Amino acid sequence: MGPVDDTMINSPLVLAAAAAPSGGAAILVGILPWILIFAIFYLLLIRPQQRRAKQHQAMISAVKKGDEVITAGGLRARVTRVVDEREIEAEIAPGVKVRVVKSTLSTVIDPKTPAAND
């Protein structure tokens, strides 16, 4: 073998091999970015969505006679009767009553809020 020159000692492969973690540390370094990505994803997307779902469920379960609601289809109606825990009866026009599944209600609105076309 001949003499070792500086280019071989300072080679990127030699430096990477010397700096590479070994064993369990290598696994941790490989998994750590994925854990951080999941934590950020959870904090920014999953947790707020769960909070909104809980608020919506509480709003739906609190619907009572006389409330004004907007359905997912965009109908504004006044609740005339709560049929059971899954359905309500709502009046969408004078004398026109429909049964609505509670899970399709998008919001309960303040009765004093004017309709968009008023």
SS (H, E, C) 63-107: CCCCCEEEECCCCEEEEEEECCCCEEEEEEECCEEEEEEHHHEEE
Distance CA 84, CA 93 (A): 22
Judge whether residue 33 has pLDDT over 80. yes
What is the number of domains present in the chain? Answer: 2
With bands split at pLDDT 50, 70 and 90, how would you rate the model's confidence at 101?
Answer: very high
Judge whether residue 6 has pLDDT over 60. no
In a domain, residue 37? The reply is yes
Residue 51's pLDDT is what? Answer: 95
Judge whether residue 5 has pLDDT over 60. no
Mean pLDDT of the region 71-76: 92
Examine the domain organization and report whether 14 and 28 are in the same domain: yes
Examine the domain organization and report whether 83 and 55 are in the same domain: no
In a domain, residue 51? The reply is yes
With bands split at pLDDT 50, 70 and 90, how would you rate the model's confidence at 38?
Answer: very high
In a domain, residue 115? The reply is no
Examine the domain organization and report whether 11 and 54 are in the same domain: yes
In a domain, residue 11? The reply is yes
Examine the domain organization and report whether 73 and 55 are in the same domain: no
Classify residue 66 as left (phi > 0), alpha (psi -120 to 50) or beta.
Answer: left
At residue 20's C-alpha, the angle toward residues 18 and 24, to 5°, is 135
Judge whether residue 91 has pLDDT over 70. yes
DSSP-based three-state secondary structure for 32: helix
Examine the domain organization and report whether 51 and 92 are in the same domain: no
Examine the domain organization and report whether 16 and 50 are in the same domain: yes
Q: Which residue has the tokens 């997912």?
A: 72
Separation in Å, CA 114 to CA 62, 69, 110: 22, 13, 9
Judge whether residue 1 has pLDDT over 70. no
Mean pLDDT of the region 39-44: 93
Residue 55's pLDDT is what? Answer: 93
In a domain, residue 117? The reply is no
Please give the residue range of the domain that contains residue 40. 7-59
